Amino acid sequence: MVGDVRQQQMKTLPGQYDHSSDRASVIVLHSINQRMRAPVVSSCVLALVVTLTCAADPVHAVEAPRDLAELSLEELMNIEVTSVSKKTERLSDAAAALFVITQEDIRRSGYTSIPEILRLAPNLQVARVDSSQYAITARGFNSTTANKLLVLIDGRSVYTPLFSGVFWDVQDTLIEDIERIEVISGPGGTLWGSNAVNGVINIITRRSQDTTGGLVSLGAGTAERGAGVRYGAKVGENATFRIYGKGFDRDNTTRGNGTDVEDAWKKGQLGFRTDWSRGSDALTLQGDGYTGTIDQVGDDKSISGANLLGRWNRTFQDGSALQVQGYFDRTRRVYPGTFGELLDTYDIEAQHRFQVGARQEITWGGGYRMMHDAVTNSAGLAFLPNVRPLTLINGFLQDSIALHERLKLTMGVRLESNSYTGLEVQPNVRLAWKFRDDALLWSAVSRVVRTPSRLDTDLFAPNQAPFLIAGGPNFKSEKLIAYEVGYRAQLTPQASFSVSTFYNVYDDLRSIEPGPGGALPFTFTNKMKGYTYGVETWGSYRVFDWWRMSAGYNYLKEKLGFDADSRDSNTAAAGNDPAHQFSVRSAINLPHNLDWDVGLRVIGALASPDVGHYVTLDTRLGWTVMNGIELSLIGYNLLDHDHPEFGAGTTRSEVARAFYAKLVWSY
Amino acid sequence: MWQRALCVRFCLLLAFSIAVSGGVCARADSSAPTTPQVQAAFLFNFAKFVTWPNEAFQRSGDSLIIGVLGEDPFGAILEDTLRDKTVMGKKLAVKRFASIHDAAHCHILFLSTSEESRLSHMMTVLEKTNILTVSDMEQFAEHGGMVAFTLEDQKVRFNVNVGAVERAGLKMGSQLLKLARIVSDKPRTGN
């Protein structure tokens, strides 16, 4: 219901950005100065001087107040306040296109995996490719190697430096333990770092103090089976823990002509989480391990991995807060005959948030990440060098200034140094005007980059000379400057509404060029550019206490082209996106502890490869048999026998009608 | 070329924003108190005009404990407001908690908006305790809480759920009740 940011995710959402101050400005200005003409520089400097001069003033603002406790209640009730309280902000205050999928939404959807659950966010594009693969993005550029979306699970980045994207087949947890998923469409580079280009997804699991007791879930259906078990308890005065295990298997998909695709998928996962808190300190330690296989012609693909994360939060007497977090993550995948990868990631980061005077809040922090990526090559395809250590060092500063009790300005900048292109600067300015208590108008300008991945720089085909493709020795970061305006309101106690629009200007997008005179090999370059614009809108309406309707609509327009000296002409390589996307959901509470949900999706056609538009419907009927026991029946894709959602021609998988029954027992 | 134009526009916007913030800083030291300052004074008055059953003081002895759960909006304000104050011969103490399970022995508990998504769980934990729950979450008093701060015309107001107060075995003085807006429980619907 509310998208505020808590201990486990101390980073404020883009909207609640803390007011950026003088130092942020210095950094931003410095970076921009290098490319700026003199008059502009001087106006910036002038503004900077103004900021610096008044930076000390807020300190005076907190002079000792009159002893308010001596006033009578009646007098207290008549005091006017300046109202810049440092409370965590609500969803309605975030100056960004933020949609929150709640635990309740997840339960009522009947979806069994994270990618399917993401279909609930109207500001995402989700297309199922086959049994285990998905193409997921925000604001365009979708593909199975989509590279403009950052995904975090409990603060752990699950992005792979192989293609700057996400392997969706290994991102999982016990679905019942997900607290909420925050989906931000639009850039988040200042807070979250490179690759948060078109969006950020934060998957946040429940704290172990909220999952004490046992839970058993069993499900079976026409296309998949799954089971999960969790046990949580209190240990001593201050600590709680939970452990869980889950497993599932999904059947092969079929092609449009009815033949089987060998892509059945099964996976098992174990994990734990412990939370300890005393006074103003909170400690979390959590981890997961998993292993699975995906069928293919010949030997099966295998996927496995493990991760361990620790996080410490402290809230100080003055209300400031510190978070330190570290994690280790190992993922391994072996595709016999084609490719294998073993990736180890070590990450440590810290951030601190504090108030300056009554009107400013500053968040700053930094981090270090070390990745060790080792690829097993095959004759047809190679990443060279096959082993590459990668480091990422970053620092950021953000200042949120209440210009007026209803007007908040947030400025921030992140400096990030990566192994390919060195220093990247990602600044961002946001303005939020809460012109009524229940209505917010916001706007933002951000610069964000997508740093090179091994796919851009190290991909060779075949594995030795003469090459057809010879990496991208001079590949630079892809760049985006995004302009956003949005409006969000609680129109009546029953109705809420959000609309956001964006104009994104991209430069240095990936292209592929032949050598001089059209000779082989091809190399990856940065000669595509262009712009996109669009509208994302959603709303919900509670028709009665027992009936809630929600709907979302997206429009996306993409205009891409190439530099004059480019010989590339295939803009379709950038991604494949529907121009229109519409969804509507109904959630009804029936008598006798029944609840009934229906979700309809209309997804526009994809151009290249050509995928026709489709309309599909999912529904779930849930029955709480008695306290703690819930039985549900779910139907997926009921409107047709099957339809494709992504991919080319006759070889692609179709997404078929399916049914599933599930029993959840918690005690 | 167009990139440079964008860059210039971006910098102008930045310069403009900074200039605006500069203008505002100059006015920042107005003497109007902040919302947390006034709320802290209200918390003191709640301590004054609410009566707890005797057993509520068995563990805390001669202190009346005001707890803050979650992200603290008060900072040092609460200590400053309550310093050297006593209520019915009891000293006032401030404690901060990260988890509801640690908060069982305070008398007044302020629940930060950071805890909003866990509200129903916390209300279950707090059942059968003698804690006066206070928050500025929206609809807090309608959803099982006791006192909800609101802001109307830049003035701090409060709603009281009398049923919830009574169920906790507390008595709220008429001095408070006559100024409060009285609300009652409203079931929390599914979503």
* CATH classification of the domain holding A38: 2.170.130.10
Give the chain A residue whose CA is nearest to the CA of B116.
A2
Q: Indicate whether A11 belongs to any domain.
A: yes
Task: Indicate if A115 and A134 belong to the same structural domain.
Answer: yes
Instruction: Give tens-digit pLDDT for A414-466.
Output: 999 999 999 999 999 999 998 887 789 999 999 999 999 999 999 998 988 88
Q: Indicate whether A1 belongs to any domain.
A: no
Please say if the pLDDT value at position A10 is more than 80.
no
Does a cis peptide bond (omega within 30 degrees of 0) precede residue A122? no
Contact present, A287 and A306 (Cβ < 8 Å): yes
**Average pLDDT score over residue span B154-180:** 89
Please say if the pLDDT value at position A311 is more than 90.
yes
The distance of B23 to chain A (nearest Cα, Å) reads 8
A358 in helix, strand or coil? coil
Interface touch A57/B25, C-beta < 8 Å: yes
Please say if the pLDDT value at position A134 is more than 50.
yes
Query: Cβ contacts (< 8 Å) between B140 and chain A: which residues?
Result: none
Domain B35-183 sits in CATH at 3.40.50
Interface touch B118/A46, C-beta < 8 Å: no
Please say if the pLDDT value at position B4 is more than 60.
no
- Global model pTM greater than 0.90: no
Q: Indicate whether A116 belongs to any domain.
A: yes
Query: Cβ contacts (< 8 Å) between B155 and chain A: which residues?
Result: 77-81
Q: Indicate whether A77 belongs to any domain.
A: no
Reported confidence tier of residue B85, pLDDT bands at 50, 70, 90? confident
pLDDT at A457: 94
What does DSSP assign to residue B98?
S
CATH number (domain holding residue A362)? 2.40.170.20
What does DSSP assign to residue A283?
E
- CA distances in angstroms from A488 to A92, A198, A495, B181, listed in the order given: 7, 20, 11, 28
Tokens in use for A647? 């991919």
In chain A, positions 121-140, which contact chain B (CB-CB < 8 Å)?
none
Interface touch B75/A319, C-beta < 8 Å: yes
Domain locations in chain B? 1-30, 35-183
Q: What is the DSSP string of B50-86?
A: EE--GGGGTTTTTEEEEEEESS-S-TTHHHHHHTT-E
Nearest to A359 among B17, B28, B41 (CB): B28
Mean pLDDT (chain A) is 86
Task: Indicate if A187 and A220 belong to the same structural domain.
Answer: no
CA-based torsion, B121, B127, B132, B138: positive or negative = positive
Instruction: Give tens-digit pLDDT for A20-56.
Output: 332 222 222 233 333 333 333 333 333 333 333 333 3
Domain of A415 in residue numbering reads as: 203-666
Distance CA A168, CA A288 (A): 16
Please say if the pLDDT value at position A211 is more than 50.
yes
Q: Indicate whether A78 belongs to any domain.
A: no
Closest CA relative to residue A501, chosen from A514, A521, A486: A486
Query: Cβ contacts (< 8 Å) between A74 and chain B: which residues?
Result: 179
Q: Which of A70, A85, A411, A589 to mutate to test the interface with B (most CBs of B within 10 A)?
A: A85
Query: Cβ contacts (< 8 Å) between A237 and chain B: which residues?
Result: 102
CA-based torsion, A355, A84, A92, A14: positive or negative = negative
Element (H, E) at B158: strand B155-161
Pairing of strands A199-205, A149-153: parallel
**Average pLDDT score over residue span A121-146:** 94
Please say if the pLDDT value at position A4 is more than 70.
no
- CA distances in angstroms from A168 to A118, A210, A220, B167, listed in the order given: 11, 27, 22, 49
Query: Cβ contacts (< 8 Å) between B102 and chain A: which residues?
Result: 237-238, 277-279
Please say if the pLDDT value at position A18 is more than 50.
no
Query: Cβ contacts (< 8 Å) between A104 and chain B: which residues?
Result: 190-191
Contact present, A87 and B71 (Cβ < 8 Å): yes
Q: What are phi and psi of A464, to 5 degrees?
A: -145, 160
Please say if the pLDDT value at position A360 is more than 50.
yes
Please say if the pLDDT value at position A660 is more than 80.
yes
Interface touch B18/A48, C-beta < 8 Å: yes
Interface touch A81/B121, C-beta < 8 Å: no
Query: Cβ contacts (< 8 Å) between A321 and chain B: which residues?
Result: 71
Task: Indicate if A275 and A320 belong to the same structural domain.
Answer: yes
Of A154, A182, A202, which residue sits at a domain end? A202
Please tell me the total count of domains within chain A: 2
Interface touch A43/B15, C-beta < 8 Å: yes
Closest CA relative to residue B76, chosen from B37, B29, B46: B37
**Average pLDDT score over residue span A568-585:** 93
Task: Indicate if A500 and A593 belong to the same structural domain.
Answer: yes
Residues 6+ apart with CB under 8 A from A627: none
Closest CA relative to residue B68, chosen from A362, A476, A318: A318
Of A177, A202, A227, which residue sits at a domain end? A202
Alpha helices (H) in chain B, listed in sequence order: 2-25, 35-49, 77-82, 119-126, 162-167, 174-177
pLDDT at B23: 33
Q: Which of B21, B138, B155 to mutate to test the interface with A (most CBs of A within 10 A)?
A: B21
Q: Of A189-198, A385-394, B167-176, which has the strongest mean pLDDT?
A: A385-394
- More confident: A472 or B30: A472
In chain A, positions 284-303, which contact chain B (CB-CB < 8 Å)?
none
Please say if the pLDDT value at position A95 is more than 50.
yes
Please say if the pLDDT value at position A83 is more than 80.
no
Task: Indicate if A211 and A175 belong to the same structural domain.
Answer: no
Burial of A145 (0-12, 13-18, 19+ CB in 10 A): middle
pLDDT at A44: 38
Q: Which of B2, B71, B155, B179 to mutate to test the interface with A (most CBs of A within 10 A)?
A: B71
Reported confidence tier of residue A475, pLDDT bands at 50, 70, 90? very high
Reported confidence tier of residue A516, pLDDT bands at 50, 70, 90? confident
Instruction: Give tens-digit pLDDT for A162-179.
Output: 999 999 999 999 999 998
Task: Indicate if A186 and A294 belong to the same structural domain.
Answer: no
pLDDT at B156: 87
Q: Indicate whether A586 belongs to any domain.
A: yes
Give the chain B residue whose CA is nearest to the CA of A179.
B117
For the ranges A282-291, A409-418, A432-441, B95-104, the lowest mean pLDDT is seen at B95-104
Please say if the pLDDT value at position A374 is more than 60.
yes
Nearest to B190 among A76, A85, A587 (CB): A587
Distance CA A409, CA A18 (A): 8
Q: Letter for the amino acid at A600? A: L
Percent of chain A with pLDDT over 70: 88
Query: Cβ contacts (< 8 Å) between B37 and chain A: which residues?
Result: 65, 68, 81
Nearest to A77 among B20, B40, B179 (CB): B179
Contact present, B95 and B104 (Cβ < 8 Å): no
Instruction: Give tens-digit pLDDT for B14-61.
Output: 333 333 333 333 333 335 677 888 899 999 999 999 999 988 888 777
CA-based torsion, A41, A42, A46, A49: positive or negative = positive
Task: Indicate if A210 and A195 belong to the same structural domain.
Answer: no
pLDDT at A396: 94
Of A163, A184, A202, which residue sits at a domain end? A202
Query: Cβ contacts (< 8 Å) between B17 and chain A: which residues?
Result: 409, 411, 429, 431
Task: Indicate if A584 and A621 belong to the same structural domain.
Answer: yes
What does DSSP assign to residue A163?
T
Please say if the pLDDT value at position B182 is more than 80.
yes
- Greatest pairwise CA separation for chain A in angstroms: 88
- More confident: A358 or A511: A511
Task: Indicate if A138 and A179 belong to the same structural domain.
Answer: yes
Instruction: Give tens-digit pLDDT for A262-277.
Output: 999 999 999 999 999 8
- CA distances in angstroms from B131 to A69, A83, A307, B123, listed in the order given: 21, 27, 40, 11
Please say if the pLDDT value at position A100 is more than 80.
yes
pLDDT at A65: 45
For residue A432, the cross-strand partners are A408, A442
The distance of B176 to chain A (nearest Cα, Å) reads 8
Interface touch B191/A411, C-beta < 8 Å: no
Query: Cβ contacts (< 8 Å) between A80 and chain B: which residues?
Result: 32, 153-155
A50 in contact with B at a CB cutoff of 8 Å? yes
Q: Indicate whether A2 belongs to any domain.
A: no
Contact present, A129 and A144 (Cβ < 8 Å): yes
For the CA atoms of B75, B76, B81, B82, the dihedral, rounded to the nearest 10 degrees, stands at 100
Helix axes A22-33, A38-54, angle to 10 degrees: 170
Task: Indicate if A413 and A517 belong to the same structural domain.
Answer: yes
Nearest to B35 among A28, A29, A81 (CB): A81
Q: Indicate whether A148 belongs to any domain.
A: yes
Contact present, A632 and A217 (Cβ < 8 Å): no
Nearest to A57 among B4, B26, B36 (CB): B26
For residue A157, the cross-strand partners are A152
Contact present, A179 and A1 (Cβ < 8 Å): no
In chain A, positions 456-495, which contact chain B (CB-CB < 8 Å)?
481
Task: Indicate if A187 and A268 belong to the same structural domain.
Answer: no
Distance CA B122, CA B111 (A): 9
